[in-house]
Structure 1
Amino acid sequence: MRQLHPIPNSDNDSGTDLAARLRPQFAQPVIVVDPDDPVIGGPRCLVPVCERLVVIFGKCSAHHQRWIDEGRPDDLEAWAKAAPANRRWLQQPPKCAITTCRRSRREHGLCHSHAHRWHQQGRVDLTRWIADGGGRPLPAGADCRFPGCGLEAEGDAGLCVHHRNRWIRAHRPPIESWLLGCATFGRDRFDLRRLPMPMRLEIAYAIQCRVDERRTITRPHSIRRLLRALPGGGVTSLLDRSPDSWITYLGFSSERGHIERRFLLDAIGYLRDLVEGVGWDAEFPRDVWLLRRLGFPGRDTRFRFTGIEPIWLRQLTKRWARWRLSTGIAVATVGADIRAITLFAQSFPALQRGPEALTRELVEVHLAHLVERFPNPKSRTGQLSSLAGLLRSARQHGWESRLSAQVDLFPEDYPRLVKGPPRALSEAVMVQLEHLDNLVRFADSRGRLLARILMSTGLRVGDGARLRLDCVVRDGQGAPYLRYTNHKMRRDAFVPIDTDLAEAITNQQKAVLDEFEDPAFLLPRPTRNPEGKVAFSTGTFRGELREWLRVCDVRDELGREVHVTPHQWRHTFGTRLINNEVPQETVRRLLDHDSHAMTSHYARLSDKTIREQWERARKVNIAGERLATDTGPLADAVWMKNNLARAKMALPNGYCALPLQQKCEFANACLTCPVFVTTPEFLPQHRRQLEQTQALISQADTNGHQRLAEMNRTVEKNLLTIIDSLTTSGGCSGGGKSCACNGKDGSDAC
């Protein structure tokens, strides 16, 4: 392979580009970990005097082993308080007993020089000799080079006798490296001293990049084995071997070494980004695009154009793909388009002659090939749409003037799509999925809550997984709504939710705030997400969903195992609403469809004017007070909630404005309920109920039933207030068929 060295050997005094990119913290042979860093740091060992990170059961590896050696004491808190630090040998060594001397103690409490002098003086009384100062003072020397040592250096190594002996017992390593290792002993660190140059700088740069990305937790113990194995590779740079060669040499696999393997691949990727460049100017000419170099998420996502052999078609496809990405088309959609064009190009080698070779006959042959290869009409439609999109864009933007104007795809070329069976799940399956005993068996709390949200609101799984932390809002009556971003339509939307789901979301919000300092999402990704800025993966959720269905053994009416996709819950939600006679306009708004054609998968078109009637009507509560019309971004959501309530909880004399699925504390006494709302169209019912209520009061008084009379007087008072409010100050504005005034403006007609 071509040798790519972004940096020469560091022995070159001119320095290197890579070294210049390293911040001081990462430019050291030993990178000391900041425990507060969310990527390389983490929780500290529970031993108060220890500075190291937690590795197992709340302890660093050294203290965990000490705890095992001491018999695993039950009172862990008391043991931790008494446990010593891992740096005890770095404490100040004892000095000579002579007060004025700063040399290291050797024998009889004296340094070597004072001990020799004392022997020469006949070993007189030692205590008195020390008190007298041991004779004339010794000449002052330089300080010991050992960090934190206050003694004088003795010998060429520049160390006191105590630390010089330690250095000798370590087999006299390079003094600077040995001092650095001693200074960082007992602290979490990435020790790169054994790595050759420039590999040392390459690994340091990879650690720095991971810290800057704030994605993948990278702690020293997780790559320590890799750092020990790299020097044996026989090369001085990570780019001297291919990634596959490194993986084979190190013996990595998906089960063993996956953390080190991922770090190694990332490190090589960072270096290649430096060598090959990033951004459109560098990436567009290549035939394989690495999308992370273009600012798109995904560390390994690629677009491959190598299968499109005709150069003119490859360039045209690359230009089309760049334009599509720039206009916000999803990466997955553009990738499918590229694969469709690749299949077309591989089917017709004659296209290498140039754009003139692309004829209508060639397109018709392609149609025939697709029928054989893709029996499913929907799959063929996708292939044809990609080719048609490329041809249309090329003509629209003038990308290829040699293309014949007669070469195109027409509506008649597309296969007829057969309307498929309903995708909604049966109630027999939904009862199992919604059962509390089954929900608690969902292993991941994030996935469990997402499943509840999808079943209760009909959201698309991508929208549900990317809910913001502050996704619950309430209207003037306290009813909760879920605020989400409709990523397909690129807009914000609201959907009413019940109080139980709102409470579950509130509990999740508290849990996320306890885990992260400033999270962005309600359901943050559990891995590669130290700051909570990455949303839950839909792929992870689908895997958890399959496992949950297996564990719960969910079966259909015939006893067969059920396969459930998240989008089926959206169809089930819409179908349930239609079955409950919710107007299709309301269903369309709840599902945030752009047109009724999308909602028509669930039911035929219903009355479109129901909202206007509701907004025109004067709404009053039991006190006769007129309710203000909701405005702002929640207006549509409030209307949907009320309209849904009309369909599910309509009363003979008004509507219930209680939040959906919230229990009513007033039973059937709606006229004494504070969330009761009514309009002029119910005036005849109010008058009939008033007559009945007054008759009940008269009968109760006659029979001496004071409690019954008192309860009905409250209803009578409210009815009188309501009737008075609806028949005065402007008259009836309802105009409904049940209103006696038949739309006339005047209370006398009522």
Structure 2
Amino acid sequence: MSAESAEIRALPEQRSAAPRARERNRRDKRDPRLPIAQLFSEERARQLWESLPEGHRQGHFDAANMPEDYRQAFIVRTIDKSRGWFTQSLSLRGLPEPMQWELAWCVHQQVADGYSINTMRLGELRRGLVLAVEHGGQVARAARSLTALTHEEWGLEVRGALMRTNPTANRYLPEWVENGLKHLQDRLAHAYHDGEWWRLNVWNPALDRRIPQREHEPQGRSVANFSQLTTAWFREAAQWWLSVQLSTERYVWSSVKSRLDHLKWFQWYIDQEGCAGPQLVGSPEELRPWLRGFVDSLNGHTAMTGPNKGGKLAKNSRRGPLVTIEAFYRWMYDNRAEASLVLGDARWAGLGPQHTVLFRLEDKPRLTNQLPDDMALEDEVISRIAAGSGVLAAPKDEGGLDDRQAFHALMLLIRTGRRMNEVLMMDFEPLLPLLTVGKQGGKEADGFVARLAYQQTKITGGDPPTIPVDQEIVDIIRLQQEWARAFTASHGAPEEANPRYLFLQTKNNRLGTRPYASATFHTRLRVLTKKLAITDSVGRSVKVSKTHTFRHTRATDLINAGVPIHVVMRYLGHVTPAMTMHYAKTLAVTAEREFLRYKKVTADGRTAEVDPSDLYDLLHLDQRADRVLPNGWCMLPPRQVCSKGNACLTCDKFVTDASHRGELQNQLEQSEALVARRQEQFTARHAEPMGEDNVWLAGRLAETSALRKVLVALDQIGVHDDGRLRAVRGAGTSDRPGPTQTHQQEPTV
């Protein structure tokens, strides 16, 4: 979850709720307003039963009549005391016939979705229901459907029946009945519901196949719960609006989830201040003050989670609800006549032009997307992550996480720069031939050997995305394919059958139809971060779980290597060059920050008067490539001609810094060696050394003197990464300020 999403979901009323109540609300995603008991129809129950394949319409399953797909899905064997062995069986008998139909249909749906069936728990569920129907209260004895009572009411009936018949029986039976019925009743509620799918307060794509979704949806099994929109007219309109946006592919499922989170803030404000229905206020003059109160409430709200915890909500977290609510009301105004008919509320027809622009520009915080400094990782950091990533695959008894899938996925993230879901949702066979690769001189060509297809889950439309990959990436994919085949085969799938995805969810996924969950992957990488404890060159902790840094790093490497922007754009899967230039900006900022790290000195060892930021700008704005020297920079104005020739070290326009220390040291050594050779030659020829009045010697001595002053100055000032003065560590010295350094020396940043 992003920091913005965490802040958006931290609504004020949640702060006063007990942690246990919040956890219960998170787990229980059922629709509290869905009249389950009223939905039941015996005719509809019979239709569900008749929709099953003929061999699956049974009241009892054992070795003699069990379908093959059930045999693979049933994971618990029961004891057959009469025969003295374990047998695989499941009985639905003893219940009213419609209940048997419902149970049989639910079991079949579970198996078809790739779930494993715990036959012991399902058998106990049936036994508890039989007890309730035979020995429960009047309502339970008259029940014809699993939906006749809520799952809590069924649990109470089972407790009462146990007290009447066998108080010493399994005390966990009522709890098993309650937990088992929740999911079954959810399935039946969606199966019995004949109305429009969007009118349900809880949208569950895993159970309601009518909800539009992309073929590969990263959040395809998440649930959108509208129950927190307690104002009826607002909730129903929001459901209609979002259903149309989803059906017309204006929004994708993840967009629906985020927009719903935004709308919850508006509901909170309505609860606090009240409103006059869809028009919000009684007259147009009252609208602006009322909306201003909502803006003020957002601005004054304290963030409960995320990086701004304890402070104000981030700008993007405050802007999101305002933009969403304004888009919602603009759409409702454009469709106000239809809204009155569809929603059965004539008040929507009274919306006016004032509802199309609810908030002024100054109300909406300016959109910010400032990248942190650590988005592009250093080569050494990447190498250390790759070297330590084996912890993911190592067995637990060796201190590892025993997750080979996470290891393979991390390797692909680092090497390809794909987004996390683009890797986790790859097809089982993502490799395509690279037609341009052939044999050269009887040997396979080096470099790229195939194309890798991935799921573009962020940007829709266009051709199926692929990138060229080398042999190492191909080898990683082949190893993961072997693991995936072995996993599905161990759950009863035929060896020749391939799963749908390359990376697989490991729970209730016998058929390999669900991908590895991004939340699980993040958890693994957070543990890896703690185990490796990697820091970068300036001591910042590197979070391996920030997977987008690998994408930034790959993009920066490509741009730094001189790859054309349009090629980088295609490789990253971007639609516009502006998206790619986002990474180019990262590279430029990194280069500038590296330039500004070092304090600039002149040829006589004094601190340069020019500000490093001004120097950087001047060198680039004036296109002064000829002023960039091997050992520093020339500050001569661009319209003036240099009269010094190569005598930069004796020029007051010359500046340099510690990044050129190696070149300066080498130049000093070469100059001293050159002076020594010339003196030796001069003495051999003239029987006496050159005097100080010699023009050539005077020039060389001036240069060596300047070099010594510069090197001494650079050794004293050091590198300023954290705003504090540091001494440069030399042989036999400790990393501490020298005795001549004082706090009055200020680094130039």
TM-score class, shorter-chain normalisation, is 0.5 to 0.7
Matched, 1:573 2:549: no
Who is 2:9 aligned against? none
Who is 1:389 aligned against? 327
- Render the CA deviation track for 1:213-260: whole Å, top value 9, x for unaligned: 332121524533333333333235432432244567889xxx999998
Who is 1:643 aligned against? none
Who is 2:298 aligned against? 370
Who is 1:214 aligned against? 113
Who is 1:421 aligned against? 372
Change (3 A) 1:572 1:39: farther
The AA in structure 2 aligned to 1:499 is: Q
Matched, 1:343 2:265: yes
Matched, 1:603 2:580: no
* Pick aligned residue for 1:435 from 382, 387, 390: 387
Distance 2:175 2:500 in 1: 28
Distance 1:15 1:202 in 2: 6
Change (3 A) 1:314 1:267: closer
Following superposition of structure 1 onto structure 2, how do residues 235-384 of structure 1 map, counting pairs within 5 Å?
235=140, 236=143, 237-246=145-154, 263-277=180-194, 281-291=195-205, 292-293=207-208, 294-295=210-211, 301-304=223-226, 307-309=229-231, 311=233, 313-328=234-249, 329-348=251-270, 349-355=273-279, 357=281, 359-373=287-301, 375-384=313-322
The AA in structure 2 aligned to 1:414 is: K
- Render the CA deviation track for 1:364-410: whole Å, top value 9, x for unaligned: 33222221225200111211221122133234445555323234145
TM-score normalised by length of structure 1: 0.54
Matched, 1:201 2:101: yes
Change (3 A) 1:7 1:325: closer
Distance 1:594 1:40 in 2: 46
SS at match of 2:465: strand
SS at match of 1:523: coil
The AA in structure 1 aligned to 2:102 is: E
- Render the CA deviation track for 1:188-218: whole Å, top value 9, x for unaligned: 221223445543333222212223x332121
Matched, 1:484 2:454: yes
Distance 1:2 1:497 in 2: 53
Who is 1:31 aligned against? 61
SS at match of 1:495: strand
Distance 1:7 1:574 in 2: 58
Residue 467 of structure 1 deviates from its aligned partner by 0.7
- Render the CA deviation track for 1:578-633: whole Å, top value 9, x for unaligned: 333433333222211122222222224999xxxxxxxxxxxxxxxxxxxxxxxxxx
Distance 1:452 1:249 in 2: 54
Who is 2:507 aligned against? 527
8 Å contact from structure 2 (residues 426, 454) kept in 1: yes
What percentage of residue pairs aligned between the two structures are identical? 20
8 Å contact from structure 1 (residues 583, 606) kept in 2: no
8 Å contact from structure 1 (residues 513, 519) kept in 2: yes
8 Å contact from structure 1 (residues 310, 345) kept in 2: no
Change (3 A) 1:602 1:302: closer
- Render the CA deviation track for 1:522-545: whole Å, top value 9, x for unaligned: 123222222222222222222222
Distance 1:585 1:332 in 2: 29
Following superposition of structure 1 onto structure 2, how do residues 51-90 of structure 1 map, counting pairs within 5 Å?
none
Matched, 1:454 2:413: yes
The AA in structure 1 aligned to 2:71 is: G
Residue 321 of structure 1 deviates from its aligned partner by 0.7
Who is 1:122 aligned against? none
Distance 1:572 1:248 in 2: 58
Q: Which has the larger radius of gyration?
A: 1
Change (3 A) 1:28 1:541: same
Distance 1:5 1:360 in 2: 44
* Pick aligned residue for 1:593 from 557, 562, 574: 574
Change (3 A) 1:562 1:17: closer
Who is 1:96 aligned against? none
- Render the CA deviation track for 1:463-520: whole Å, top value 9, x for unaligned: 2111112211232215222111312222421222231111110222244345351422
8 Å contact from structure 1 (residues 345, 351) kept in 2: no
Change (3 A) 1:518 1:528: same
- Render the CA deviation track for 1:606-665: whole Å, top value 9, x for unaligned: 99xxxxxxxxxxxxxxxxxxxxxxxxxxxxxxxxxxxxxxxxxxxxxxxxxxxxxxxxxx
Who is 1:227 aligned against? 126
Who is 1:70 aligned against? none
8 Å contact from structure 1 (residues 34, 40) kept in 2: no
Q: What are the ranges of 5 or more consecutive residues in structure 2 without an aligned counterpart?
A: 1-34, 160-171, 214-218, 302-311, 340-347, 395-400, 439-448, 589-749
* Pick aligned residue for 1:404 from 337, 348, 352: 352
Change (3 A) 1:397 1:19: closer
Distance 2:472 2:157 in 1: 55
Distance 1:505 1:258 in 2: 44
Who is 1:138 aligned against? none
* Pick aligned residue for 1:40 from 61, 70, 83: 70
Residue 428 of structure 1 deviates from its aligned partner by 4.7
Distance 1:310 1:203 in 2: 34
Change (3 A) 1:590 1:249: farther
Following superposition of structure 1 onto structure 2, how do residues 510-549 of structure 1 map, counting pairs within 5 Å?
510-514=482-486, 515=489, 516=493, 517-549=497-529
Residue 567 of structure 1 deviates from its aligned partner by 2.1
Who is 1:141 aligned against? none
**Superposition CA RMSD, Å:** 4.0
SS at match of 1:217: coil
8 Å contact from structure 1 (residues 6, 18) kept in 2: no
Change (3 A) 1:496 1:579: same
SS at match of 2:147: helix
Change (3 A) 1:262 1:24: farther
- Render the CA deviation track for 1:328-383: whole Å, top value 9, x for unaligned: 32223212212322322431444334416273343333222221225200111211
Change (3 A) 1:598 1:308: farther
- Render the CA deviation track for 1:391-435: whole Å, top value 9, x for unaligned: 332344455553232341455442124524232344454232211
Following superposition of structure 1 onto structure 2, how do residues 13-28 of structure 1 map, counting pairs within 5 Å?
19-21=49-51, 23-28=53-58
* Pick aligned residue for 1:501 from 465, 473, 489: 473
The AA in structure 1 aligned to 2:327 is: G
8 Å contact from structure 1 (residues 39, 219) kept in 2: no
Following superposition of structure 1 onto structure 2, how do residues 121-140 of structure 1 map, counting pairs within 5 Å?
none
Q: How many residues align?
A: 465
Who is 2:747 aligned against? none
